[in-house]
Amino acid sequence: MSDATAGESVAVITGGARGIGRAIVDRFLHDGYRVLVFDINEKAVGEIADVAAANPRLEATQTSISDRAAVQAAIDGLFTRYGRIDALVNNAGMTQPGTFLDQDDDDWCRIVDVNLTGTFVMSQVVARRMVDAGRGSIVHCGSVSAHGIRTGPPAYAAAKAGVEGLSRLMAVQLGPLGVRVNTIVVGTTATPWLVGRKTEEELDAMRSSTLTGRLGEPDDVAAMAAFLCSDAARHVTGQLISVSGGQWLP
């Protein structure tokens, strides 16, 4: 670890090459972090790598978050280079079309593997480093789907509900060891993926489901993630914080 990097905070962002994840990456870079992006999408990782060529504080790896060996190798390498990991934002996720009556077992297993098992694997690998240092913040990106607000596949709702339970358990067990853990309950957000697949009528219906009359923007989630990983949130842990325009009222 060089003197030039010794004092810089280091963040790991999963699913950071696109959509909400990309906004989180940009916010953390703005706040002065070194950022390692995990993403499974080869094209998107390539685009991040192009940006990283001009920004030495940004790195990217094409890695599945549920592949423990690959995650361990990437985190070990990051720690060897910089000697610290201050923040982890578990944003990566996926879903497939389906309802309770027609979702098949293969889709169930894949969705749960990425959204819940991958979150567990990433969190455990990173938390062990944080515990050794006696400090750190972990933020999970959950969903209003876990609260029955949006229709969709049962595996996604179940996995995101599982993330909430995991988050609180982590907060209880890791809090005394210096690591804070919180979950952002993300509402309908105007990512390029969503906007490109919905009609204007569908988007209007989504807007009307919020108390603010608007869809969330990726930057809204990024701002909350940055806050939760900052010293300003040093007394905040074990919380579900809704960034949904009131779609979910806890």
Domain count, the chain: 1
156 is catalytic: yes
On whether residue 152 sits in a domain, the answer given is yes
On whether residue 120 sits in a domain, the answer given is yes
Burial code (b: 16+ CB inside 10 Å, e: under 16) for 166-197 equals bbbebbeebeeeebbbbbbbbbbbbbeeeeee
Higher pLDDT, 211 or 87: 87
Domain harbouring 44, CATH code: 3.40.50.720
For the residues 147-151, what does the mean pLDDT come to?
Answer: 82
Q: How confident is the model at residue 6 (pLDDT cuts 50, 70, 90)?
A: low
CA end-to-end distance (rounded Å), the chain: 44
Q: How confident is the model at residue 199 (pLDDT cuts 50, 70, 90)?
A: confident
CB-neighbour burial class of residue 227 (10 A; exposed 0-12, middle 13-18, buried 19+): middle
On whether residue 1 sits in a domain, the answer given is no
On whether residue 147 sits in a domain, the answer given is yes
On whether residue 5 sits in a domain, the answer given is no
pTM over 0.75: yes
Higher pLDDT, 202 or 75: 75
Candidates 38, 108, 156, 248; catalytic one: 156
Q: What is the residue range of 206's domain? A: 10-243
User: Using one digit for the tens of pLDDT, what is the confidence trace for 19-52?
Assistant: 999 999 999 999 999 999 999 999 989 999 888 8
Q: How confident is the model at residue 250 (pLDDT cuts 50, 70, 90)?
A: low
Q: In this predicted structure, what is the pLDDT of residue 232?
A: 98
